[in-house]
């Protein structure tokens, strides 16, 4: 646990008692603050009270009297689509509103560091897509070279639940826009922006607000090194804003859509080959085409970001390549489950929307595609350019027939259940085919989560 500093002897309100809220309350208490906790859920309040925390109704008159700060859980909106009522009361009382990410950055460093040979580093990863895989890949490479490392944030454990740093450790944090938007303290050593596409627009008041939330990670504290995907205008703008000259190597630009020939520090992928250029000269390369845990252009972008981070930490290209080859991928994200008689079975249950499913369809050839579920707004038109890679679709879900209407021109079979889809796809598959679960839909018509859907796919494949 990271003991929160700066609130010793003070009362600090905590709103939202899920994983991050309870971790925050514990970390505040460990730092000799007095946490006052609240959640609209009576069940959550009862659990907190049973753990010994003071329940404090933030809606009562005078609730913010003598309160030093309000720490907000990431799922609670503070501005858009409208301010949370307790946040508005904190504003009226002049009480600063903050979050656990900010508490982490103000509390992570300790006096013990004075005795370290190598100061710990913090790497943060944000972006619209690929955050989890990029974070996990960086963590995997560091583990491969026996560098002390912890993985936290949106992946792994909460930021305040990690252990205090040891000599030379690297902490890798996956951060969402919900977390970067509110934090008052953001001081990573290395910050990554993978890419930008519209997401969480209601929460941020539009795409501009969404980008502004991501940009804060780079603008508020100023990382020693920024690694920025420049395949979208927002990333290109950010990289330009951060660099003071064309040769400023504090900014590493990454791309999967263009060869980067500038005089700075660039990492890009073309036709499956990752290349690193510094001052116009090649400094390293990796053939990504046969790395099973990183299939497709979207994973090649993740590889660019992770490679740039590891190079910034002083690792050699060949060492990074060796670690990449042993990366198994994250569960439910282009995860190879089995190879049976020359047929590959891939679980990408996390592909819950058209954009992510399109990446999966682009990554493989000769696809036996298991798709369907609770269809999201906008339809399936964005998948049409990738239908040539699909030999046949096997549609699951309660409304499988309705979903299938969006797959015009694709040979398909209505299966409804995962068991039927995997069984039929396996019977039809030929050597060289890939049976791919990439639903392009939410799971809630049949499963509690995309994880449960992926686990069912794995179970059915294992049953083969």
Q: Burial letters for 317-342: b for 16+ Cβ neighbours within 10 Å, e otherwise?
A: beebbebbeebebbbbbbbebeeeee
Report yes or no: 455 and 417 within 8 Å, Cβ to Cβ: no
Bind-site residues for ATP: 127-133
| Residue for token pair 């740039």 | 308
Bind-site residues: 127-133
CA 278 to CA 267: how far, in whole Å?
9
CA proximity to 45, closest of 34, 33, 57, 35 = 57
CA atoms lying within 13 Å on the CB side of residue 260: 28
CA 226 to CA 326: how far, in whole Å?
26
CA 273 to CA 50: how far, in whole Å?
55
């Amino acid at each position: 646990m990271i003991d929160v500093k700066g609130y010793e002897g003070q009362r600090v309100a905590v709103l939202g008692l899920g994983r991050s809220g309870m971790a925050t309350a514990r970390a505040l208490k460990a730092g000799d603050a007095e946490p006052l906790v609240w959640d609209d859920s009576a069940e959550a309040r009862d659990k907190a009270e049973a753990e010994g925390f003071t329940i404090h109704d933030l809606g009562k008159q005078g609730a913010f009297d003598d309160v030093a700060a309000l720490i907000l859980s990431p799922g609670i909106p503070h501005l858009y689509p409208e301010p949370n009522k307790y946040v508005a009361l904190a504003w009226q009382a002049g009480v600063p509103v903050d979050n656990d990410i900010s508490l982490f950055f103000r509390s992570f460093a300790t006096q013990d560091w004075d005795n370290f040979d190598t100061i710990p580093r913090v790497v943060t990863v944000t972006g619209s897509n690929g955050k989890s895989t990029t974070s996990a890949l960086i963590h995997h490479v560091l583990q491969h070279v026996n560098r002390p490392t912890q993985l936290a944030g949106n992946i792994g454990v909460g930021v305040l639940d990690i252990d205090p740093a040891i000599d030379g450790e690297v902490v890798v944090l996956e951060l969402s826009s919900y977390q970067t938007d509110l934090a008052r303290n953001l001081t990573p050593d290395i910050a990554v922006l993978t890419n930008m596409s519209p997401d969480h627009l209601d929460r941020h008041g539009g795409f501009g607000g969404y980008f502004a939330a991501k940009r804060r990670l780079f603008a508020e504290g100023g990382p020693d090194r920024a690694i920025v995907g420049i395949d979208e205008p927002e990333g290109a703008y950010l990289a330009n804003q951060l660099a003071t000259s064309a040769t400023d190597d504090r900014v590493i630009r990454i791309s999967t859509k263009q060869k980067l020939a500038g005089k700075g520090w660039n990492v890009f992928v073309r036709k499956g080959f990752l290349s690193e250029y510094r001052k116009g000269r090649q400094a390293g390369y990796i053939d990504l085409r046969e790395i099973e845990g990183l299939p497709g252009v979207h994973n090649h972008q993740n590889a660019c970001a992770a490679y740039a981070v590891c190079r910034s930490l002083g690792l050699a290209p060949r060492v990074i390549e060796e670690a990449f080859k042993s990366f198994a991928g994250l569960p439910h994200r282009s995860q190879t489950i089995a190879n049976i008689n020359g047929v590959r079975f891939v679980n990408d249950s996390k592909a819950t929307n058209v954009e992510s499913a399109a990446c999966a369809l682009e990554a493989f050839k000769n696809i036996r595609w298991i798709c369907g579920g609770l269809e999201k707004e906008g339809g399936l038109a964005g998948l049409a350019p990738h239908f040539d890679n699909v030999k046949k679709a096997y549609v699951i879900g309660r409304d499988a027939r309705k979903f299938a209407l969006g797959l015009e021109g694709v040979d398909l079979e209505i299966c409804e259940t995962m068991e039927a889809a995997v069984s039929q796809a396996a019977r039809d598959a030929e050597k060289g085919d890939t049976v791919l679960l990439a639903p392009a839909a939410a799971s809630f018509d049949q499963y509690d989560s995309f994880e449960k859907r992926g686990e069912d796919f794995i179970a059915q494949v294992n049953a083969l």
